[in-house]
Chain A
Amino acid sequence: AQKVTQAQTEISVVEKEDVTLDCVYETRDTTYYLFWYKQPPSGELVFLIRRNSFDEQNEISGRYSWNFQKSTSSFNFTITASQVVDSAVYFCALSTFNFGNEKLTFGTGTRLTIIP
């Protein structure tokens, strides 16, 4: 069984503040992928990042950064200098494979509101 926990249901911060979204996962597989998706108010799901279990290097993309720590089974997402356009629901997801078939498990999401 696999599970993704996003304990923060809703977060509100004032524009330009930094904010970190937490993601904790559970899996027995040693090979897996972790994802973050963004769902803006318009409703579509936008892929942000994918990380495999063999690569614990942190990644930075503009104002976005991701901290992957296998020791704590966490894959946290930080937005630096937040902007109103960052307001969305963010989903963390865990992907494992069984005989080539992927199982993608989503967390319940964190609703982020950036206050202007």
Chain B
Amino acid sequence: NAGVTQTPKFRVLKTGQSMTLLCAQDMNHEYMYWYRQDPGMGLRLIHYSVGEGTTAKGEVPDGYNVSRLKKQNFLLGLESAAPSQTSVYFCASRGQGGYRSNQPQHFGDGTRLSIL
């Protein structure tokens, strides 16, 4: 029962390098999300997807790109990493349903990313 799996769990990058974080869910969820967690700021939404082939910007999208080519995967890319992107990144997924649905977001274990 994997749920939401994020890879890698840890990564150190140099400024200017690029990388992709992978999120995979096995619950057949329509909605997927990428958040970043910074001290004292809670979780902030970067990008999200409401279905395969769709993406949308969240609260803090600058410097990130995403893709949802397959329903079960949601990729977060950093094209040119900056120290300000040092953070813990969480992926989440949720089943389809409107405001009366009973479906909370399920989170992965997080990816700790450091940009030097």
A residues apposed to B, CB below 8 Å: 4, 9, 31-33, 35, 37, 43-45, 47, 50, 52, 91, 96-97, 100-104, 106-109
- We find that the number of chain B residues with CB closer than 8 angstroms to chain A is 26
Residues A97 and B45 in contact, CB atoms below 8 Å apart: no
Contact B104 A106 (CB under 8 A): no
CB-based contact A45/B90 at 8 Å: yes
Q: Which residues of chain B from 2 to 37 have a CB within 8 Å of any chain A CB?
A: 31, 33
Q: Interface residues of A: mostly helix, strand, loop or mixed?
A: strand
B78 at the interface (CB under 8 A from A): no
Q: Closest B residue to A104 by CB, please name it.
A: B105
Q: Pick the contact of A43 from B40, B50, B88, B102 — CB < 8 Å?
A: B88
Indicate whether A50 sits within 8 Å of B102 (C-beta atoms), given known contacts A102-B94, A108-B42: yes
A44 touches B107 (CB 8 A): yes
B interface list, Cβ under 8 A from A: 31, 33, 40-45, 48, 50, 56, 88, 90, 92, 94, 98-100, 102, 104-110
A37 vs B90: C-alpha distance when bound (angstroms): 13
Please state if A43 and B98 are interface contacts (CB–CB under 8 Å).
no
User: Which B residues are in CB contact (< 8 Å) with A45?
Assistant: 90, 92, 107, 110
Residues on A with C-beta less than 8 A from B105 are 47, 104
| B99 & A44 in contact (Cβ 8 Å cutoff) | no
Which residues of A are found within 8 Å of B88, using beta-carbon distances? 43
Indicate if the CB atoms of B31 and A102 lie closer than 8 Å.
yes
